[in-house]
Structure 1
Amino acid sequence: MSLTRQDRKMTLFALTWPIFIEVMLHMLMGSADTLMLSQYSDNAVAAVGVSNQILFLIIVMFGFIATGTTILVARYLGANNYKDAKEISSVSLSANLLISILISAVIVIASEDILLLMNLPRELLPEATIYLQLVGGFSFIQALIMTASAILKSYGYTRDTMYITIGMNIIHIIGNYLFIFGPFGLPVLGVPGVAISTVISRLIGLLVILYILKQRVHFTINLKELFKLPTHHIKNLLHIGVPTAGEQLSYNTSQMVITFFITMIGTEALTTKIYTQNLMMFMMLFSLAVSQGTQILIGYLIGAKDYDAAYKRGLKSLYAGIFISTLMAIIFSLFSDSLLGIFTSNESILEIGGTLVLLTILLEPGRAFNMVLIGSLRAAGDIRFPTYMGILSQWGVSVPIAYILGIHFNLGLVGVWMAFIADEWIRGIIMLYRWKSRTWMTKRFAERPAAS
């Protein structure tokens, strides 16, 4: 199945492979921090890991506009409505800039208090605070990158965002090397150096992506447009974005609570979780790429009112996501000792981490259900149901089971992973039932008001 863009056809494969590489490189950027800092100290890894969990939560706040942008632009283009596609892109950039500047300011002011709420061990607080202040203070850069990237992807320019991410990674790794290892007589900055490298690479990436956006789609950020464009654009963005952000906010908050539980086990358990989840991020790459590509295609199909094709596309993508994610989990489990050995030589971490990687063979297929089908439902306009079910499962299944098994019954990280498995599978099966019910075919977005 293929769809026609203005200058070429779009297929799932054509959209997905650049997204796959782009997302992989984004994850490599975080793993590069972990890998390089692991040569510096395990405490530095734990400090940056907890700070990044907070930053992921902040990125969710930016992501709700980016998600709405992807869906709406794809829908308008599918309906050949290029005027509204351009308008929604412009208002999305402007809105995310305003929101992200406010959030960045809050992070700078309250970083230490936030880390203390996370029950971060005192010995990790100084490094975690400076990292959070530097990277969080400039997080508005990431907000703009996310929104501009969403626009380009919806227009089908997934290769452009991939190339930009490649460049950002190269700059980031070079910066890490200079600041962590101090070649040529340079000072060894450790965690602050990694933060500086992160900010510089993102700033350069932002400048490049805005230039490409101007060349491809012919518009730039204009804050005045935020208050001038038709209100139905804002309503549609909020209709998609607020529930989506609510679900993601709930997920990340629940993960922070579970991280709090893990700090009760000890710093070594926290470090093991961070190393293992770095590997898990690569296992779920294909499902994530398929989810994003499918979301764009279904947006086009819904815009063209081809509901039967959208239904079939969602199921085909789901089967592909389950197969590849399971295969990757099996491969990673076979080589878990070698892969974890990249980060550490601690025997206890290697043993527990290996068990956790083995459990991901059960975890990843469930995650594929959620990634692909939730993205498909949202693209089809079914926004609230995935949000409600997500919040219910995260707080009714994942958090209590993590505490009961991990802390109360003293199963530690194994108990926590069992909670993750239960959460993903329960939600995934419910999402499959929702997709097959075709209830999403009745969902609608706000239309442009008719001229009086």
Structure 2
Amino acid sequence: MIDDAANEETKPQEQKSSVIEKGLKGLVPPMIFEWAILLSVPFADVFFLSRISDNSAAGVGMVTPYILGCFVVIEAICIACVSIAGQKMGKGESTVSRETLSFMLIVVTVVLALLATLLGSFSGSLVALMHLPQAVSVEAEQYLSIGAFILVGWGAAAAYKSVLNLYGHPKWNLAATSILTVVNISLNSIVVFGLFGFPKMGVTGVAISSVIAAFVSLAFLAIVVRYKFGIRLYDFPSLDSMRSMWRPIANIAIPSSIEPLSYHVYAFILNLLIARVGVEEVTMRVYANNIFTICLVVSISFSIATQMIVAQLYGAKQLRRAHLELTHSVKISCLIIGALSILFWLNADSLIRYLSENDNVIEMAATVFMIYFLTEIPRTINIVVTGSLKAVGDAWVITFRSCIITWIIALPSAFLLTLYFELGLLGILWAIFLDELLRSIANLSRWYSKHAGLQGGFFSVMRTELMRLVLPRNKKQMLSGEGGG
């Protein structure tokens, strides 16, 4: 008994999570800072590349979706494993939860090795598929040939970050991302401007800087997880345990991979359309994407925090509380995203002038940013609600609906608006807006109809929830019959 007690004292972090206690207020701020810093890395890369040429920025921007598409698979595996682990924590099954995380590392390692090999081996062919202008394709292939190593660093780090988020320690992810950014910007400055006697290495130097920064950050995370919190992730589960884990994880991971991969293939086709329109449209798209990445930071942060909370509440059978956490998260994130998007739209010309001196690119900025503004709120709803649906194991239906909307409605709309009506880049952006709007409605419908824990049909429930959002607290209680708690 003494030995058992001693063992319990040596592994407190493996058995407890502070996610529910911290709530959105405790989890979201450090996640926002973490993702802001993390997603500033591509923006910093684009800034340094723009110092080389617009062709360099456009080339890297066009092939980055290949790396992100592979990363999506890793993220899906992490989401699935952490969702199941969170549910087990909610049920008090900490040992099974820890074994699920160990299983995650095994799968992530194998999949990363496969994807990195494929990406590195076929970089030239992947660039050729895009039919880019020669000056752009050369830069793109140089970057993508090293992109496989960026993927390995980012993918392995994502697994460790998922573990820290699950245990309620997002501030350490913020520290790791800060290290990544400092290393990346420092090395980029050296290789782009030729500081300290180093040769100017152009696109290749920027890619190498990103690889080194990713692995430095990964090493920091591995040390923190193992030695700071004593979370053992290499006590691998038995074969029988892995067999029992596979089905529930696959039920989340497979559709969680299909949906974003479908979207990335869709985005790839849209990039081909943009490339047909012209290099200036490609450049504008890359710059706008990187600026509005800040909105994505907020959406992802709220999504991850809400997903962790909902998973554990769902495991503990507190369905009504899980619903309230989600609706609160959607409301706050949309308010923040709306404010940021308007700010970017009002300052569109100034922001683009900072990145490009091309008058044609600058002239497009105001209209392009207006469409981005309209798109960001439904995109935010999509990201937050989809994360919670996956957290409760409901991934197949939303994946099917999303693929139908994207391929049957949005993609044909993009071709129609771009080629028939000759709207160019604007036609593509309007198609993306339509896609995000319809998918946000579909995902909200699924949550409210299946997981809200409320009586009545979808529209009846939505009316009640809208009243909950706009009425004062005491009136909400009188209408709903709820007490104060």
**Do they fold alike, i.e. is TM over 0.5?**
yes
Structure 2: which amino acid aligns with 1:282?
Answer: I
RMSD of equivalent CA atoms: 1.7
Contact kept, 8 Å, 2:103 with 2:242, in 1: the verdict is no
Aligned match of 1:277: 289
Q: How much has 1:407 moved relative to structure 2?
A: 2.2
1:211-234 deviation per Cα after TM superposition (whole angstroms, max 9, x unaligned): 111132521447x65856431222
| Contact 1:382 1:440 (8 Å CA) reproduced | no
Instruction: Quote the Cα distance in structure 2 between the aligned partners of 1:35 and 1:217.
Output: 39
In structure 1, what is the Cα distance between the partners aligned to 2:369 and 2:137?
Answer: 29
Q: How does 1:138-157 map to 2 (within 5 A)?
A: 138-157=150-169
CA distance in 2, matches of 1:8, 1:260: 44
Matched residue, 1:21: 33
Tell me by how many angstroms 1:58 deviates. Answer: 1.0
Report if aligned partners of 2:17, 2:168 keep a CA contact under 8 Å in 1: yes
Can you list the C-alpha shifts for 1:395-434, whole angstroms capped at 9, x where unaligned?
1222111111122211111111111111111111121121
CA–CA distance in 2 between the matches of 1:292 and 1:360? 23
In the alignment, what sits opposite 2:104? 92
1:395 matched to which residue of 2?
A: 407
How much does 1:125 deviate? Answer: 2.4
Which residue number in structure 2 is paired with residue 263 of structure 1?
A: 275
For each residue in 1:359-386, what CA deviation from the matched residue of structure 2 results, as whole angstroms up to 9, or x when unmatched?
Answer: 2221111112201111111112211111
In the alignment, structure 1 residue 348 sits paired with structure 2 residue 360: yes
Q: Give me the whole-angstrom Cα distance separating, in 1, the residues matched to 2:23 and 2:150.
A: 36
Which ranges in structure 2 are unaligned for 5 or more consecutive residues? 1-15, 454-485
Secondary structure class of the residue paired with 1:342: helix
Equivalent of 1:105 in 113, 117, 121: 117
Instruction: Give the one of 38, 46, 49 matched to 2:58.
Output: 46
The one-letter code sitting in structure 2 at the alignment partner of 1:166 is: S
Separation (CA, whole Å) in 1 of partners of 2:292 and 2:328 = 23
Give, as a single letter, the amino acid of the residue that structure 2 aligns with 1:278: N
Moved over 4 A (4+): 224-228
Structure 1 portions without partners, runs of 5+: 442-452
Match among 58, 79, 83 for residue 67 of structure 1: 79
Shift of 1:199: 0.5
Task: Please point out which of 414, 427, 431 is paired with 1:415.
Answer: 427
For structure 1, which segment, 35-44 or 350-359, has the greater mean C-alpha deviation from structure 2 after superposition?
Answer: 350-359
Letter in 1 for 2:423: L
CA contact (8 A) 1:25 1:165 kept: yes
Once the two structures are superposed, what CA deviation does each residue of 1:105-163 show, in whole Å capped at 9, x if it has no partner? 11111110011112222222232212111121452222111111111101111111111
- Whether the 8 Å contact between 1:69 and 1:151 is mirrored in structure 2 is no
Give the deviation of 1:81 after TM superposition. 1.4
- Taking only the aligned residue pairs, the percentage that are identical comes to 26
| DSSP 3-state at the match of 2:404 | helix
Counterparts of 1:172 and 1:284 in 2: how far apart (Å)? 21
**Residues 191-200 or 347-356, more deviating:** 347-356
Q: Name the SS of the counterpart of 2:368 in structure 1.
A: helix
Counterpart pick for 1:172 among 178, 184, 191: 184
After TM superposition, the structure 1 = structure 2 runs for residues 143-292 of structure 1, keeping only pairs within 5 Å, are 143-215=155-227, 216-221=229-234, 225=237, 227=239, 229-292=241-304
Deviates more, 1:404-413 or 1:25-34: 404-413
Inter-partner Cα distance in structure 2 for 1:362 and 1:86: 42
Residue 131 of structure 2 aligns to a residue in which SS?
coil
Structure 1 CA distance for aligned equivalents of residues 191 and 240 of structure 2: 45
Cα offset for 1:281? Answer: 1.2
Change (3 A) 1:251 1:6: closer
The answer (yes or no) to whether the contact 1:95–1:226 under 8 Å persists in 2 is no
Matched, 1:80 2:88: no
Q: Partners in 2 of 1:262 and 1:7 — Cα distance?
A: 43
> 1:276, CA displacement in angstroms?
0.7
Task: Report if aligned partners of 2:58, 2:286 keep a CA contact under 8 Å in 1.
Answer: yes
How many Å apart are 1:12 and its aligned residue?
0.7
Structure-1 residue corresponding to 2:370: 358
Task: Answer whether contact 1:94 1:225 (CA < 8 A) is retained.
Answer: no
- Matched residues in 2 for 1:110 and 1:73: separation? 36
1:309 positional shift: 0.5
Normalising by structure 2, report the TM-score.
0.87
* Residue range with higher mean Cα deviation, 246-255 or 230-239: 230-239
- What is the TM-score when the length of structure 1 is the normalising length? 0.93
**Aligned equivalents of 2:250, 2:331: Cα separation in 1:** 31
Q: How many residues align?
A: 437
> Contact 1:90–1:225 (CA<8 Å) still a contact in 2?
yes
